[in-house]
A and B are shown apart, each in its own frame.
Chain A
Amino acid sequence: MAELTYREAVAAGIAQEMRRDPSLVMLGEDVAAAGGVFKTTVGLLDEFGPDRVRDTPISEQAILGAAMGASMTGVPVIAEIMFSDFLAVCWDMIANEIAKSRYMTDGQVSFPLVIRTANGGAARFGAQHSQSVENWAMMIPGLKVVAPSTPADTVALMAAAVRDPDPVIFFEHKSLFATKGEVPEVEVVGRLGEASIVREGSDATVAALALMVPRALEAADRLQQEEGISVEVIDVRSLVPLDTKTLLASVEKTSRLFTVEENPRLCGWGAELISIVGEEAFWNLDGPLVRITTPHIPLPAAASLEDLAIPSVDRIYETVKSSLR
């Protein structure tokens, strides 16, 4: 095992896959010589050279078009969109072209490509560089969507995403880049569509994603210590495919479900989880299904306001505690 930061794990995952598959290439703004604005691609240009690691102009449509066209003609691609907010300027590529072309051509084309992007808040960047937009991607048929919370999962899911024959939107959380974790020093390959029970418990299930996972874990520890409430925490990890088996089995055990979502409230991913549990596990429930989310607002820049907006350890703690009382 080696201790890596989450940002180092991004590069490690990409490097592992580029070593395995000499046809795999990557492109994006400042990804090569600069090593990425978040330093998530440091060392890749040196190891793999400028033909395989390409700096691009600020042209998000051209970046994703290049990724789509190359992947449909035999060259797998990892494309970076620097901030997930910028997905909005190339959403046609994602939602209309990459996601739909396989279906529209009745399976004539495949898109083995990964679109990596820095998602999420808590970095005081304001409304256009902080959004959590995983729910945008989740609602488009044809895409797969993952968002790791640990360095080990980052490597494992990167490998799984690259090896998957479908387009995968890979959300890296910008406020997790500095966090550290153990990563095995052998080849690491995860699977899309597998949630992880990161803390076992019996009184309530809390489903969280990305930055919300460590917050949910901390809240769970406090609930145990201070209130004697035993919380099971699920790291959803993969929104599409969605591991509903793990979710439903957990709710069957705990009879309560809370979701902790950084995306703004309306149509967040937790609403889908809750609707599934409401339909399929209703008679196992002991109480309401509860969503803990960012409000329906653009994110503010000021630290005090942003901290109020995004679900905090305290908010998770208080919500679970008062709901179970």
Chain B
Amino acid sequence: MYDYSSRPSRLPLPVDERMASADIDLGQRKSIYRSLQELRQFEKRAHDLFLQNLVKGTTHLSLGMEAVAAGFGAAMRPDDYTFATYRGHAHALARGMEMGPAMAELLGRSNGVLGGKGGSMHLTDVSRGMMGSYAIIGAHLCIANGAAWSAQMRGSGQVTVCFFGDGTTNIGAFHEALNMAKVWQLPVVFVCENNLYMEYTPIDLITAVPHPAADRAASYGLESVIVDGNDPDAVYLAAGKAIGRAREGGGPALIEATTYRTGGHSRADPAKYRPLEEVEAWAQRDPIPMYHARLLGLGVAEGELSSIERDVAADVDAATEFAKAGEEPTGEALLTEVYADGSSRWRN
């Protein structure tokens, strides 16, 4: 049987050490570090709870990819809009979704952020600008355009950021959305999290160009931007630039963030289709130890970082208890919120 793991490894580029001296406020960097810890520890717990059969269905984790969500989250204004995919836990948390209701949603409890009706793949918190996690590839790029169009019409200055995977660049909606965004000069930033695999298949095997998003940018009059998606500072800077330009009326941007998922596509996937050397090399580029070392290098005390880690661990514990304490939703919830009157009534 042919096995993709025998293909040549695609190794990460080394860390760009110049990023350590980038002009980023130290307080902002500590905040990004906290965010990285939140995303990592929350998802590791979600994984544990899945193994305990408390999280049902499936989960699509961003372990290893947290720098993209954390970097963008730090660069966004509170009223900006996020659109994410089924791999959306990190993006929801990076916009400030409370961990308790998020974890409870994964457990299918009535105190979940969606009352248990959405689940892992649809985390949404409109109050935080988290406009949804969409589980069918491509659609949400078009929907993100609509939110950006609305902001443009209302003159609100809000920017929409839309995250998606490398696999999305091969579906028609990607191309429809980029074309319309450019023609209408919409304030939207499209972010391709290129983790090198479309589910179980290496993206380069099934894509006509080496960089699935960046190499398509020119087709839509956009700059080709590739950023190290495992370096939170690099992401933060690229995010700030694209968001700032969109806010000033400069139109859309497309950013390809190169990254790697530590685990498989979903809970069903042990990801054995990847060369061992590749997996190990990317493990060395895990964004969290790297960022930890960078902050130490910038003079942050070890004790301060470990204090952040402990605080987050306590938050995750509390979120887990909150979720476990939640009731399973009852039949009352089953028939609500199909229509805006709160009901599912289709006849008189």
Contact = CB atoms under 8 A, between A and B. Distances in A.
Q: Do A and B come from one complex?
A: yes
Interface of A: 23, 25, 51, 56-57, 59, 61-62, 64-75, 77, 92-93, 96-97, 101-110, 141-142, 144, 164-166, 193, 240-245, 276
Given A62-B180, A70-B147, A142-B339, A242 B124 contact: no
Nearest to B114: A106
B2 interface: no
A65 B340 contact: no
Given A72-B131, A97-B139, A62 B145 contact: yes
A30 to B, nearest CB: 15
Given A61-B142, A92-B139, A240 B176 contact: no
Contacts of B348: 193, 241-245
B150 A102 contact: no
A56 B142 CA distance: 13
Contact of B142 (A93, A107, A144): A93
B173 interface: yes
A176 B134 CA distance: 38
A57 B81 contact: no
Given A73-B150, A92-B138, A245-B348, 15 more contacts: A57-B176, A59-B180, A62-B142, A62-B145, A64-B142, A65-B145, A66-B180, A70-B149, A73-B131, A102-B337, A106-B118, A108-B124, A108-B125, A166-B340, A193-B348
B271 interface: no
B142 A66 contact: yes
A73 B154 CA distance: 10
B151 interface: yes
A193 B142 CA distance: 31
A72 B142 CA distance: 13
A8 to B, nearest CB: 28
A6 B138 CA distance: 36
Choose among A68, A165, A166, A242 the residue with the greatest number of B CB atoms under 10 Å from its CB.
A68
A59 B179 CA distance: 9
A245 B139 CA distance: 38
B153 A75 contact: yes
B132 interface: yes
Nearest to A60: B176
B139 A93 contact: yes
A110 B340 contact: yes
A62 B139 contact: no
18 contacts: A56-B180, A57-B179, A61-B138, A61-B176, A62-B176, A62-B179, A65-B176, A66-B145, A66-B146, A71-B146, A74-B154, A93-B139, A93-B142, A97-B140, A102-B340, A141-B344, A241-B345, A241-B347
Q: Name which of A73, A74, A164 has the most chain B CB atoms within 10 A of its CB.
A: A73
Contacts of B134: 97
B176 A69 contact: no
B340 A165 contact: yes
B342 interface: yes
A62 B177 contact: yes
B148 interface: yes
Contacts of B179: 57, 59, 62
Contact of B338 (A72, A73, A102): A102
A244 B342 CA distance: 21
